[in-house]
């Protein structure tokens, strides 16, 4: 059902109590949301990972390398492998359901505009990290299912997908870690915000940064809204610090999964 | 075997292992960037002494399991493939969805999780008299062949295979009657039930306890 474009959701008028401590002052990287990651969660998939960043939960499975099934626009030979990313939001993952214009004409089963955009962002973020030249003529399927979306979905998806790729044993140059933050009033920054804590604040923009920690290279930097260059620089630096904080946790999850896999059945 | 692997260090992709100097060479499961050797997969670290003749003293490898694991057919690899159908100019090994190809099932000793399509061209079946080969006298559909990957192919076609060596060719075959074929020479195989002889390009697989009689 298509709602009129000017409608407001009910939650706009109610006080939302999330049960989490207030996140009014979150410039400090120590105030990131609780983080949990675990690899090798799905028995049937070659590699998988489950991540929770606050209330944002998503699971990712990886399959491949396999024969290329997606048709390619370029007529070049496949000298490198390709990543085929698919994103699916669970029906219960969103709080507000409004159907945008672009989605009104899609068939059931096709990805929505948001899912397509997210998949493209994830593919852009992961392609520099995977050794695609070692798997010519092959395709790696990455399927992300978002169970609950409470902010920072792109970051969570990038970390989850790169952990799932590592769990699947696919050659990678480095892991991809990511973090997002919101810019409030063109000056203050809230690190790793959830949608509930941003509900009543005047947000001027948001920044998502993904980087490869060991090689110290940024793979993705997404910025939306408006902010001054100085603020953007500060935001990128802050987001990079957050990513580095997550690195030991992701490493530990992968080490545990390797140890579990090597145990005799 | 698990006792030794549990003592070895577990690496994570991107972990810096050694400097890429005179002592260490980056092997399987690692990559060399900016003068350092980094791990490329999540697995156990193995430092093996290099074979004699290599410049560097040891090879650094990161392996998930004890045995060698290949994920994709690579150029020069010996693969096990199943022939799906043949034409006058080639034999195709592959899946029904795609147009015809041989279906590569194994690479070396490791079984692939997903089969890949490949094509065996007429001129690549034999090393000698390459143009006078008749495909149906060398391979037939449902044969299992050992072949070498000689080309990656382009957009339309798949991997190219070659059996132009003594050790490559048909390993298992099915006779017209539907029973197992036993090799009796380098160009003939005999049905195990009806004793009919059929022509194949037989692979010289070493260490098999088969009686070979000259035709």
In this prediction, the residues of chain B whose per-residue pLDDT falls under 70 are: 1-7, 53-54, 66-68, 88-101, 154-157, 207-215
The per-residue pLDDT of chain A, averaged, comes to 84
- Residue among A190, A149, A179, A156 nearest A55 (CA): A149
B37 backbone φψ class: left, alpha, beta (φ>0; ψ -120 to 50): beta
Q: How many domains are contained in chain A?
A: 1
Q: Which of B41, B71, B117 sits opposite A65 (nearest CB)?
A: B71
Residue A70 has pLDDT above 50, yes or no: yes
Residue A8 has pLDDT above 70, yes or no: no
* Amino acid B65: pLDDT: 78
Report how far residue A178's alpha carbon sits from residue A201's, in angstroms, rounded to the nearest whole number.
23
Confidence of residue A123 (pLDDT cuts 50, 70, 90): very high
* Amino acid A77: pLDDT: 57
Q: Is the complex ipTM more than 0.90?
A: no
* Amino acid A255: pLDDT: 94
Whether the CB-CB separation of B43 and A257 falls below 8 Å is answered with no
* Amino acid A249: pLDDT: 94
Residue A19 has pLDDT above 50, yes or no: no
Report how far residue A207's alpha carbon sits from residue A178's, in angstroms, rounded to the nearest whole number.
11
* Amino acid B105: pLDDT: 83
Confidence of residue A72 (pLDDT cuts 50, 70, 90): low
Q: Which of A78, A131, A257 sits opposite B40 (nearest CB)?
A: A131
A7 part of a folded domain? no
A16 part of a folded domain? no
* Amino acid B156: pLDDT: 62
Q: What DSSP assignment string belongs to chain A?
A: -PPPTT---GGGTSPP--SSPP-S---SGGGPPPEEEEE---SSSSEEEEEEETTEEEEEEEEEEE---S--SS-S---S-EEEEEEEE-TTS-S-----TTTTTPPTTSPPHHHHHHHHHHHHHHTTTB-GGGSTT-EEEEEEEEEE-SS-HHHHHHHHHHHHHHHTT--BSS--EEEEEEEETTTEEEES--TTTTTTS-EEEEEEEEEETTTTEEEEEEEEE---HHHHHHHHHHHHHHHHHHHHHHHHHHHHHHHHHHS--
Tokens of A16: 């939302």
Residue among B42, B66, B68, B151 with most chain A CBs within 10 A, to mutate: B42
Contacts of A253 in chain B (CB under 8 A): none
- Prediction pTM value: 0.82
Confidence of residue A22 (pLDDT cuts 50, 70, 90): very low
Across the interface, whether the CB atoms of A67 and B116 are under 8 A apart is answered yes
Residue A178 has pLDDT above 90, yes or no: yes
* Amino acid B20: pLDDT: 83
Q: Does B154 touch chain A (CB under 8 A)?
A: yes
* Amino acid A18: pLDDT: 45
Tokens of B134: 């008749």
Q: Strand B43-49 and strand B10-11: pairing?
A: antiparallel
Give A128-174 pLDDT, tens digit per residue. 999 998 888 888 999 999 999 998 899 999 999 999 999 999 999 99
A178 part of a folded domain? yes
* Amino acid A108: pLDDT: 76
A96 part of a folded domain? yes
A213 part of a folded domain? yes
The better pLDDT of the pair A253, B98 is held by: A253
Q: Which residues of A lie closer than 8 Å to B, measured between beta carbons? A: 46, 64-67, 72, 75-79, 81, 131, 134-138, 166-167, 169-175, 212-215, 250-251, 254-255, 257-259, 261-264
* Amino acid A20: pLDDT: 41
A2 part of a folded domain? no
Ranges assigned E (strand) in chain B: 10-11, 16-19, 24-26, 30-33, 36-39, 43-49, 58-63, 78-82, 85-86, 90-93, 102-107, 110-121, 144-151, 159-162, 169-172, 181-183, 188-191, 197-199
A192 part of a folded domain? yes
* Amino acid B92: pLDDT: 65
Quote the domain boundaries for residue A87. Answer: 25-69+77-259
* Amino acid A121: pLDDT: 95
* Amino acid A57: pLDDT: 95
CATH number at residue A59: 3.30.230.70
* Amino acid A168: pLDDT: 92
Across the interface, whether the CB atoms of A169 and B71 are under 8 A apart is answered yes
Q: What is the mean pLDDT of residues A177-194?
A: 86
Residue among A70, A72, A128, A166 with most chain B CBs within 10 A, to mutate: A166
Q: Strand A203-212 and strand A217-225: pairing?
A: antiparallel
Q: What is the mean pLDDT of residues A249-260?
A: 93
Residue among B1, B4, B12, B100 with most chain A CBs within 10 A, to mutate: B12
A116 part of a folded domain? yes
Tokens of B58: 């040891």
- Which residues, other chains included, contact B66 with Cβ-Cβ below 8 Å and sequence gap of 6+? B1, B5
Tokens of B174: 């099915």
> What are the distances in angstroms from CA A8 to CA A3, A12, A101?
10, 7, 17
Give the number of other Cβ atoms within 10 Å of residue B101's Cβ. Answer: 28
Tokens of B92: 């195709």
């Amino acid at each position: 059902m298509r709602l009129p474009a000017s409608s407001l959701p009910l939650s706009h008028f109610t006080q939302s109590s999330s049960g989490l401590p207030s996140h009014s002052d979150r410039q400090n990287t120590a105030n990131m949301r609780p983080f949990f990651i675990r690899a090798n969660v799905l028995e049937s998939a070659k590699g998988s990972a489950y991540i929770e960043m606050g209330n944002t939960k998503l699971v990712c499975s990886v399959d491949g390398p396999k024969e290329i099934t997606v048709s390619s626009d370029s007529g070049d030979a496949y000298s490198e492998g390709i990543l085929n990313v698919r994103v699916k939001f669970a029906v219960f993952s969103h709080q507000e359901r409004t159907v945008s214009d672009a989605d009104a004409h899609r068939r059931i089963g096709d990805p929505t505009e948001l899912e397509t955009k997210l998949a493209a962002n994830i593919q852009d973020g992961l392609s520099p990290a995977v050794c695609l030249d070692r798997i010519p003529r092959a395709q790696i399927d990455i399927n992300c299912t978002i169970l609950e979306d409470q902010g920072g979905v792109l970051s969570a998806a990038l970390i989850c997908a790169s952990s799932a790729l590592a769990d699947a044993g696919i050659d990678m140059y480095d892991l991809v870690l990511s973090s997002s933050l919101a810019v409030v009033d063109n000056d203050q920054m809230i690190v790793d915000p959830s949608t509930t804590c941003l509900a009543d604040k005047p947000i001027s923009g948001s920044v998502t940064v993904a980087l490869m920690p060991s090689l110290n290279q940024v793979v993705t930097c997404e910025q939306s809204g408006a902010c001054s260059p100085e603020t953007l620089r500060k935001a990128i630096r802050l987001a990079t610090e957050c990513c580095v904080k997550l690195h030991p946790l992701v490493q530990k999850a992968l080490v545990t999964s390797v140890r579990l896999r090597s145990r005799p059945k | 075997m698990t006792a030794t692997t549990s003592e070895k260090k577990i690496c994570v992709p991107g972990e810096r292992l050694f400097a890429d100097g005179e002592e260490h060479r980056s092997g399987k499961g690692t990559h060399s960037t900016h003068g350092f050797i980094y791990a490329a997969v999540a697995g156990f670290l193995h430092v093996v002494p290099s074979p004699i003749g290599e410049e560097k003293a040891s090879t650094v490898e990161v392996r998930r399991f004890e045995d060698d694991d290949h994920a994709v057919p690579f150029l020069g690899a010996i693969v096990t493939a199943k022939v799906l159908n043949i034409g006058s100019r080639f034999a195709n090994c592959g899946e029904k969805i795609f147009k015809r190809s041989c279906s590569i099932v194994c690479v070396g000793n490791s079984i692939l999780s997903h089969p890949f399509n490949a094509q065996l061209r007429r001129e690549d079946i034999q090393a000698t008299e390459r143009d006078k080969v008749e495909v149906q006298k060398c391979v037939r559909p449902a044969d299992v062949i050992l072949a070498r990957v000689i080309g990656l192919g382009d957009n339309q076609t798949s991997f190219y295979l070659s059996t132009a060596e003594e050790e490559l060719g048909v390993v298992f075959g099915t006779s017209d009657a539907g029973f197992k074929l036993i090799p009796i020479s380098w160009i003939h195989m005999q049905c195990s039930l009806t004793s009919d002889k059929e022509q194949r390009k037989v692979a010289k697989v070493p260490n098999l306890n088969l009686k070979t009689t000259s035709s």
